[in-house]
Amino acid sequence: MYTTAAAKGRRGCYYIRMETAYIVVSVLQTIAVSLGVGSSTAAVTQFFVAIANGKIEEGERRIMGVVYILLRVAMGLILMTTLAQAAILYNVIALRYINPFTVGIWTIIAVLYINAILMTLHWMSSRFGPGIQAGSWYTLGITFALVPLGLTDFTYQQFFLAYAGMVILGTAIVNGIMSYQQGIK
Residue-wise pLDDT for 16-69, tens only, equals 788 899 999 999 999 999 999 999 999 999 888 887 877 778 888 898 899 999
Q: What is the mean pLDDT of residues 86-115?
A: 88
Residue 149 lies in a domain: yes
Domain that holds residue 87: 12-183
Count of structural domains within the chain: 1
Residue 5 lies in a domain: no
Whether the model clears a pTM of 0.85, i.e. scores above it, the answer is yes
The pLDDT assigned to 41 comes to 95
**Confidence grade of residue 14 (pLDDT, cut at 50, 70, 90):** low
pLDDT in tens, 104-151: 999 999 999 999 999 999 999 989 999 999 999 999 999 999 988 999
Across the chain, which distance is largest between two alpha carbons, in Å? Answer: 80
Residue 4 lies in a domain: no
4: pLDDT strictly greater than 60: no
Residue 1 lies in a domain: no
43 phi and psi, to 5 degrees?
A: -65, -45
**Confidence grade of residue 1 (pLDDT, cut at 50, 70, 90):** very low
170: pLDDT strictly greater than 50: yes
Residue 2 lies in a domain: no
Residue 51 lies in a domain: yes
Residue 84 lies in a domain: yes
2: pLDDT strictly greater than 60: no
Residue 37 CA to residue 24 CA, distance in Å, equals 20
**Confidence grade of residue 185 (pLDDT, cut at 50, 70, 90):** low
Residue 112 lies in a domain: yes
Does residue 89 contact residue 19 with C-beta atoms inside 8 Å? no
**Confidence grade of residue 72 (pLDDT, cut at 50, 70, 90):** very high
